[in-house]
Amino acid sequence: MIKIAICDDDRDDRQKLDGMIQKYAAGAKEDFCTRQFESGEQLVDSDFIPDILFLDIMMNRKDGIQIGMEIKNIKNDILIVYTTNISHNMAVALNKVHSFGYLIKPIVEEEFFDMLSGAIRQIKSNHTESRNIISFVSSGNKVIYLHAMDVYYFEYVNRQVRAVTKDGSFVCKETISEMAKRMEKYGFAMSHQSFVVNLYHVDSISGQMLIMKNGARVYLAQKRMSAIKHRLILLARKSIGDGGYNGH
């Protein structure tokens, strides 16, 4: 499902855009989740992270350019389409925020459909190219994107889940059990109640420890040992069949 946000301090303009989105969805048989925001501050403070954002430039307090820069810090690949009554600010918006495009009010339905269709194609293309790119919400509410194979393991420590990656570590908001379920299809397994490991990065087993390829030692519970060994054998066979694991 594609998530779309409309941020505009004019209620009529928000309703108009929402109506166009619903009309497009019905005709194109697309499934959208749409939310409206009457200010940029309301959008930034919400927990709704859209894929596409229709953002008015001229708003009270913070304008659309400021909000666009802030929202890009939360999720860099949001496709921002600016809406405005005037065009002279668009060069600034396009250059500073790297927005997807802009629409001049009053917005023409055909132009809106063309813009929305292009944004959807871009999202679907990005999704196809990055099937193994996983998004994580950090403890600071920032969305972090990583390739699954860049993660060594997740550790539950001090009531937090820490992701250990090739480029360092960060704290995730998800629980360790949620992480285990989510990451299983990428070759991860729960080796201990406090660890979810990337089996592709296991170098060896020593007693009740997994020795990871980054040198880390991860606990392996006795009751999970048989299942972990079985999965390691299956992955080794698959790797040989695929011509060897190359890191991605």
pLDDT at position 127, please?
A: 66
User: Would you say residue 92 has pLDDT above 90?
Assistant: no
Is 3.40.50.2300 the CATH classification of the domain at 2-129?
yes
Render pLDDT for 156-198 as a digit per residue (tens, 0 to 9): 999 999 999 998 999 998 899 999 999 998 999 999 999 999 9
Indicate the fold that domain 133-241 takes in CATH.
OB fold (Dihydrolipoamide Acetyltransferase, E2P) (2.40.50)
Quick check: do 2-129 and 133-241 share a fold? no
Tokens of 48: 């709704």
Cα–Cα distance for residue pair 209/220, rounded to 1 Å? 5
**Domain ranges, ordered by start, for the chain:** 2-129, 133-241
Please compute the mean of the pLDDT values over residues 72-99 and round it to a whole number.
77
pLDDT at position 241, please?
A: 54
For residue 94, with 0-12 CB atoms within 10 Å meaning exposed, 13-18 middle and 19 or more buried, which class applies?
middle
Confidence grade of residue 137 (pLDDT, cut at 50, 70, 90): confident
Render pLDDT for 191-245 as a digit per residue (tens, 0 to 9): 999 999 999 999 999 999 999 999 999 999 999 999 999 999 888 776 655 544 4
User: Would you say residue 140 has pLDDT above 80?
Assistant: no
